[in-house]
Amino acid sequence: MEPNRFERLAPTPTYQRVAEAIENDILGGKLQPGDRIGTEADLVRQFGVNRSTVREGIRLLEQGGLIRRDQSRRLYVSLPRYNRLATRVSRALVLHQVTFREVWEAAMTLEAATAEAAAARATAEDIAALEDNLARMAGITDHQAFCEADSDFHALLARVSKNRVLELAREPVGLLFTPTLKMIMDQVASAGPRNLEAHRHLIEACRSHDPATARDWMRRHIADWRRGFEIAGKSLDDPIERTFAAHLGLPGAYR
Amino acid sequence: MEPNRFERLAPTPTYQRVAEAIENDILGGKLQPGDRIGTEADLVRQFGVNRSTVREGIRLLEQGGLIRRDQSRRLYVSLPRYNRLATRVSRALVLHQVTFREVWEAAMTLEAATAEAAAARATAEDIAALEDNLARMAGITDHQAFCEADSDFHALLARVSKNRVLELAREPVGLLFTPTLKMIMDQVASAGPRNLEAHRHLIEACRSHDPATARDWMRRHIADWRRGFEIAGKSLDDPIERTFAAHLGLPGAYR
DNA sequence: AAATCGACTTTGTCGGATAAACCGACAGGC
DNA sequence: GCCTGTCGGTTTATCCGACAAAGTCGATTT
C-alpha cells in the first residue's frame, strides 16, 4: 500500500470554530479576564449559527476554564484555575498508569525545589501561615483530616515559593500523594510524628532563610514517605490504583 | 448581613451530570480506553434526556480528552494526551502572567532532573534517537526549524527519562521556552553552536550513564538560555508576552 | 432610602427535522 | 480475486421552535 501522501481532509466542526474564535480573542488580549461575553443570543447573532451550536462551543471553553458563568449564569472571561488543571493532570497520570516510583521521583525534585525557593522568599506573613497550619495539624487525630492538612501545608509552601510554575507543576504530585499518605498513616504509627517534625524543620528553615536546609529536610520528608509506603507493603513499581482517581473526579470537576 | 453560612443551593445541570456519569465509569475502570461508547441515541435512551443535553455533556468530556471520536465520529474512551494537557497548562501560565524568571527557575529544576534520569536509563535505541535529532539539528540553518528541533530534543530526553510525571511536568515549560529561543537566536549569533554543544554533551552523558554530568550540562544549557535572554535585552521579570500564547492556541486545540 | 413587585431577559432542557458523512453489502468489470 | 460504483441504513452536525425556571431591572410602595 502507498504510504500516506495526504492529510486527512476534515472541515472543523462549527462548534469548535466558535470556541476557537472566542479563545483567540482571549489569548490575544482582546477579551480580558472579567470581561463579559455576550448572551447566547448575542453570539448566535454574531456568529450566525444556531444556539445549540453556540452552546456546544461554550461548553468547550467553559470546561477549559477560559470562561465561566457567574451566579446569574452570564458568561465572562476567567483565568483557568490551577486546581482544575492539576486535577486533570493527576487524572491523566492515573489513567496512564504511572507508577509510584515515577511520582515519587518527581516529588523529590519538585518539592525540594519548592522548599528551596520558599525558604529564600518567605515573608513573616508566610511563616505565620505555615505555623498556623502546623499548629492545626498537631491537634488533629483523624487520619483523613491530618492528610488534608498535610496537603495544605505543601500547597502553602508552594505558594510561599512565589513561583507559580513550580506551584502548578507540583500540584498534581501533591494530589496523588495525599491519599497514599492516609494509607500509610493507617498502618505506620510513626508516620504522623515524623511528618510534623519535618514540617517543623521546614518552617524553621524558612524563618532563617536557609534554602539548603529546607531542601535537605524536604528530601528527607519525601524519603520518609517512600519508606512508609514500603513498610505498608506496597510496591513502588505498581501503577497508581484507580481508586485514588475516584477521589480526584468529584465533585464539581465541571463547575 | 450574616456571613455565608450555607453553600449556594444549585442543582447540577443535567449536561454536567451526564458528563460526570460517563467520567465516573471511565475513572472507575468500567470503561477502558478504546471501549466504544454508545451512539448519541443510545445515551439519550439510557440517560433519559434530550439529545442536545447529551451532546453538551459529550463536549465536556471530549474537551477533557477522556473521550474522542474516531474518523467515523463514533465515540470511544481515550487517554488524555500529554500534549493537550501541556498546552492548556502553558496557556494558563501565560494568562496568569508568570514571569520568565519563574519559568526559568522551574526549567532549571525540571530539565536537570529529567536529564539526570535520562542518563541513568537511556538505552542504545534512545541514544540513537537523540543522535539522530542532533544530526538533523546540526544541518538546520532556519531559526524556526532549529528551535523546533531543539524542542523535540528536550521532549525526547524527557521520554528517555522514563518518568512520565517529570515528562508531563516539563512539557509546559518546554512550550514556553521554544518561542523565546527563536528570539534569542535571531539576536545572539553564538546561541546555535552553544546549543548544539550542550546537546552533544548531554548525549554523551547518556551514553556513559553519567547522571551527574548530564545534570551539570543541562544546568549549564539552561543557564545559557538565560544569558542569551538577557543579552537579547529582555528582562526576566517581565511577564511572558501574550504573543507567545497565540502560538499555543492553534491549530486544533479542540481536536 | 429600603423593601416589594411585576415585566422582561436569559438559560436549561426539550421535541423534532434535515443534510451530509459514514458503514457495510452487493454487483459489475478487469 | 481485486477494484470500483452504487444503494440503503445509521449516525452526526446543525438548525428551528418552544417553554419553564431563574435571574435582572426598573417602577412602586412603604
pLDDT in tens, chain B (255 residues): 444 456 666 778 999 999 999 999 998 889 999 999 999 999 999 999 999 999 999 999 999 999 998 877 889 999 999 989 999 999 999 999 999 999 999 999 999 999 999 999 999 999 999 999 999 999 999 999 999 999 999 999 999 999 999 999 999 999 998 889 999 999 988 999 999 999 999 999 999 999 999 999 999 999 999 999 999 888 999 998 876 666 665 444 555
Query: Which residue from A67, A79, A3, A1 is spatially nearest to A38, judged by alpha carbons?
Result: A67
Nearest CA in chain B to A251: B20
Average pLDDT over residues A16-43: 93
Taking residues A144-170, report their average pLDDT: 97
Cβ atoms of B65 and A60 closer than 8 Å: no
Subunit contact A56:B55, Cβ cutoff 8 A:
yes
Query: Higher model confidence: residue B69 or residue A210?
Result: A210
What is the enclosing helix (H) or strand (E) of B68? Answer: strand B67-69
Is the pLDDT confidence value at A252 over 80?
no
pLDDT at residue A101 greater than cutoff 90: yes
Q: For residue B255, what pLDDT is reported?
A: 52
Please tell me the distance in Å from B181's CA to the nearest CA on chain A: 19
Whether cis (ω within 30° of 0) applies to the bond prior to B13 is: no
Asked if B109 is an interface residue toward chain A (Cβ–Cβ < 8 A), one would say yes
Q: In Å, what is the separation between the CA of B15 and the C1' of C12?
A: 9
Mutation target vs B (from A22, A59, A93, A104; most B CBs, 10 A cutoff): A59
Nearest protein residue to the C1' atom of D22, measured from CA:
A72
**Low-confidence winner among A68-72, A131-135, A244-248, B232-236 (lowest mean pLDDT):** A244-248
Q: How close is the nearest chain A Cα to the Cα of B70, in Å?
A: 12
CATH 1.10.10.10 is held by the domain A14-77? yes
Quote the Cα angle for B36-A58-B62, to 5°.
Answer: 20
Nearest nucleotide (C1') to the CA of residue A13? Answer: D13
CB contact under 8 A, A79 and B92: yes
Task: Spell out the residues 6+ positions from residue B68 whose beta carbon is closer than 8 angstroms to its own.
Answer: B62, B75, B76, B78
Q: Which residues of B touch A111 (CB under 8 A)?
A: none
Residues B161 and B79: beta-carbon distance below 8 Å:
no
Q: Dihedrals φ, ψ of B68, to 5°?
A: -145, 170
Query: What is the structure's pLDDT at B1?
Result: 43
Across the range A81-98, mean pLDDT stands at 93
- Find the Å distance, CA of residue B253 to C1' of nucleotide C22: 24
Cell of B170: 516539563
Looking at this protein, which amino acid is placed at residue B16? Q
Rounded to whole angstroms, the distance from the CA of residue A72 to the C1' of nucleotide D25 is: 13
Q: What is residue B251's predicted lDDT score, i.e. its pLDDT?
A: 46
Question: What ipTM is given for this predicted complex?
Answer: 0.91
Q: Nearest CA of chain A to the CA of B79: how many Å? A: 7
A13 touches strand D (CB under 7 A): yes
Q: Which residues does A25 contact at the CB level (< 8 Å), separation at least 6?
A: A31
Among chain B residues, CA nearest to A170: B169
- Spatial contact of A86 and B74, defined as CB atoms under 8 Å apart: no
User: SS3 string of A57-87?
Assistant: HHHHHHHHCCEEECCCCCEEECCCCHHHHHH
- Is pLDDT at A212 greater than 90 in this prediction? yes
Q: Does B21 touch chain A (CB under 8 A)?
A: no
Average of per-residue pLDDT across A102-106 = 97
* Contact between B31 and B68 (Cβ < 8 Å): no
Could you give phi then psi for residue A33, rounded to 5 degrees? -50, 135
Q: Give helix B191-207 / helix B164-187 axis angle, nearest 10°.
A: 150
CA distance A237 to chain B (A): 12
**Closest alpha carbon within chain B to A97:** B164
Query: Could you tell me how many residues make up chain B?
Result: 255
Look at B65 and A245 and tell me if their CB atoms are within 8 Å. Answer: no
Q: How far is the CA of A4 from the C1' of D14 (A)?
A: 31
Residues of chain A with CATH 1.20.120.530: 83-249
Model confidence band, residue A234 (pLDDT cutoffs 50, 70, 90): confident
Any atom of strand D under 7 A from CB of B69?
A: yes
Residue type, B72: S
Nearest to B25 by CA among B56, B66, B73, B60: B66
CA distance A243 to chain B (A): 7
Higher-confidence position of B88 and A8: B88
| pLDDT tens track for A61-71 | 999 999 999 87
Sign, CA dihedral A64-A67-A71-A72, equals negative
Q: How many CB atoms lie within 10 A of CB A222?
A: 21
State the pLDDT at residue A146: 95
Hey, what CATH topology would domain A83-249 get?
Answer: Four Helix Bundle (Hemerythrin (Met), subunit A) (1.20.120)
Are B103 and B234 contacting, i.e. CB atoms less than 8 angstroms apart?
no
Q: What burial class does residue A56 get, using C-beta atoms within 10 Å of its C-beta: 0-12 exposed, 13-18 middle, 19+ buried?
A: buried
Least confidently predicted of A169-183, A192-206, B6-20: B6-20
Taking the Cβ of residue A102 and every Cβ of chain B, the question of whether any pair is shorter than 8 Å is answered with yes
Question: Chain A: residue nearest B32 by CA?
Answer: A95
- Which one of B56, B80, B245 has the shortest CB-CB distance to A27? B245
Angle B143-160/B191-207 helices, nearest 10 degrees?
A: 20
**Contact (Cβ atoms closer than 8 angstroms) between residue B170 and residue B154:** yes
Are the beta carbons of A149 and A140 closer than 8 angstroms?
yes
CA pair distance A158, A156, nearest whole angstrom: 5
The set of strand D positions with any atom below 7 Å of a protein CB reads: 10-18, 23-24
Minimum-distance CB partner of A88 among B8, B85, B106: B85
- Domain limits, CATH 1.10.10.10, in chain B: 14-77
